[in-house]
């Protein structure tokens, strides 16, 4: 059982190789190393982008929004309590998302205002870590109850820049109200004081703003027990919509208001799809590099078979079976694949764990910026190593190397001992 392994290792370590055979063998190992390392680094970068985008998007919007399709939810506390008691719902709180115009010194900008209970927001979003002034939190929006306390608003960095406002300035928020007959009423407005500014990166900074839910209620003439939506938090943000659907469906009969579901994917779907597409194309391209490198093993082993014809003939004449001959050369190919895969995994993990620093070093040397914060969510390349993907990559490459060695092994197995030893 172990004889083909011993002979295969002996052939692999043999110094009786032509220069070309040795070069092709080393080139195949280097090719596999580069391909495996590139695949691990690329996948780690894509995982990093995916997690960072999800983290930042969920920092400014809830996982799922349960919207009333008939205006408002009545008896909000009861609705929240029923939804919060369902499986896979971590938290629920009343809120609303409204489209508005924000005016400052006759500069108008459209905005997507999220109104949320400022005393119960931390279970839903984590915007606080993105505040420019870390002393300001979303809780700062809560009215203090004084007579002179005006409504407050928190703006995205780019939105505040376009309006030319900073913390402490006053802006006018204009909202149109839907009438019962489906028409829009004249805009209603309220002056709000800018309580703070947040900066996440990308286009969200130019459209997102926050106010306390009481501000929108007063502006639209709603009662304190009414809300337009219920914000939900689920444990798995990539399956948040299905989790919310499973939680809300059993409550259809107990909640008289018709409901619709909207997840964070509705806002970030294009970016998320782009990441998935890039991941797929990159994996295919790099995997083809690995496949080509593995098939260099075929050339290397074919040359090895031609060099070892006499040794194979002697082994066959001594009772070595043809299957054992095939396995011997498959062992050679397997170990070439294993060497390349091991070196590739080690190199890939080393770079992937330090990818942010490596890219920053390259940027400093070349004087370029790979990512711009004005366009993307970040100005650095994130990385997140998924060891299951690393394991699958390594096993796939070893398997391809093993398959590549089958054809040369079959060729070696059908060597005619009599003809080789007689010199014919």
pLDDT at 316: 77
Confidence grade of residue 29 (pLDDT, cut at 50, 70, 90)? confident
| Token output for 410 | 């079959």
Strands 188-198 and 152-156: parallel
Element holding 413 (H helix, E strand): helix 406-413
Is the pLDDT at 244 greater than 60? The verdict is yes
Residue 173 or residue 176, greater confidence: 173
Question: Which of the residue ranges 25-29, 166-170, 186-190, 221-225 has the most confident prediction, judged by mean pLDDT?
Answer: 166-170
Report the SS3 class of residue 243: helix
List, in order, residues 6 or more apart from 18 with CB less than 8 Å away.
303, 307
Confidence grade of residue 128 (pLDDT, cut at 50, 70, 90)? confident
CA dihedral sign of residues 169, 115, 77, 224: positive
Residue 234 or residue 178, greater confidence: 234
Is the pLDDT at 349 greater than 90? The verdict is yes
Nearest CA-CA partner of 222 in 100, 96, 82, 99: 96
Per the CB < 8 A criterion, the answer to whether 126 and 197 are in contact is no
List, in order, residues 6 or more apart from 365 with CB less than 8 Å away.
none
| Token output for 135 | 């002393």
How much is the pTM?
0.74
DSSP string, 310-330: HHHHHHHHTT--HHHHHHHHH
Confidence grade of residue 331 (pLDDT, cut at 50, 70, 90)? confident
Per the CB < 8 A criterion, the answer to whether 64 and 261 are in contact is yes
Per the CB < 8 A criterion, the answer to whether 193 and 173 are in contact is no
List, in order, residues 6 or more apart from 106 with CB less than 8 Å away.
none
Strands 170-175 and 91-104: antiparallel
The predicted model gives 363-388 an average pLDDT of: 78
pLDDT at 388: 92
- The chain-wide mean pLDDT, for the chain, equals 82
The predicted model gives 348-377 an average pLDDT of: 81
Confidence grade of residue 27 (pLDDT, cut at 50, 70, 90)? confident
pLDDT at 77: 86
Confidence grade of residue 6 (pLDDT, cut at 50, 70, 90)? confident
Calculate the alpha carbon distances from 366 to 93, 355, 379, 416 in Å.
49, 16, 16, 60
pLDDT at 390: 92
């Amino acid at each position: 059982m172990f004889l083909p392994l011993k002979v295969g290792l002996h052939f692999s370590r043999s110094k009786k190789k032509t220069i070309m055979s040795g070069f092709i063998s080393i080139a195949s190992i280097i090719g596999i190393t580069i391909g495996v390392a590139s695949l691990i680094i690329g996948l780690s970068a894509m995982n990093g982008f995916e997690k960072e985008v999800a983290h930042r998007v969920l920092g400014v919007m809830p996982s799922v929004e349960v919207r009333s399709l008939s205006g408002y939810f009545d008896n909000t506390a009861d609705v929240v309590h029923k939804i919060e008691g369902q499986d896979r719902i971590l938290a629920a709180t009343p809120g609303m998302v409204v489209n508005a115009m924000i005016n400052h010194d006759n500069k108008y900008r459209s905005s997507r205002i999220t109104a949320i209970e400022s005393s119960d927001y931390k279970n839903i979003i984590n915007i606080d870590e993105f505040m420019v002034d870390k002393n300001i939190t979303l809780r700062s929006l809560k009215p203090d109850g004084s007579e002179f306390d005006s409504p407050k608003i928190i703006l995205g960095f780019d939105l505040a820049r376009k309006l030319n406002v900073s913390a402490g300035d006053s802006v006018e928020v204009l909202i149109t109200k839907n009438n019962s007959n489906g028409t829009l009423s004249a805009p209603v407005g309220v002056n709000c004081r800018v309580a703070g500014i947040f900066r996440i990166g990308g286009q969200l900074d130019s459209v997102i703003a926050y106010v306390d839910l009481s501000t929108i209620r007063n502006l639209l003439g709603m009662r304190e027990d009414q809300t337009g939506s219920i914000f939900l938090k689920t444990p798995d943000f990539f399956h948040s919509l299905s989790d919310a659907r499973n939680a809300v469906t059993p409550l259809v009969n107990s909640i008289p208001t018709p409901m619709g579901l909207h997840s964070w994917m509705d806002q970030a779907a294009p970016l998320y799809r782009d990441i998935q597409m890039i991941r797929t194309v990159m994996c295919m391209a790099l995997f083809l590099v690995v496949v080509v490198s593995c098939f260099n093993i075929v050339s290397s082993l074919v040359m090895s078979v031609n060099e070892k014809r006499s040794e194979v003939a002697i082994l066959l004449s001594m009772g070595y079976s043809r299957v054992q001959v095939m396995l011997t050369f498959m062992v050679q190919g397997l170990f070439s694949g294993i060497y390349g895969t091991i070196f590739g995994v080690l190199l890939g993990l080393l770079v992937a764990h330090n990818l942010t620093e490596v890219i920053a070093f390259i940027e400093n040397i070349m004087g370029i910026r790979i990512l711009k914060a004005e366009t993307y969510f970040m100005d650095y390349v994130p990385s997140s190593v998924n060891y299951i993907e690393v394991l699958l990559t390594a096993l796939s490459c070893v398997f391809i190397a093993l398959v590549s060695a089958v054809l040369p092994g079959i060729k070696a197995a059908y060597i005619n001992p009599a003809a080789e030893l007689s010199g014919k």
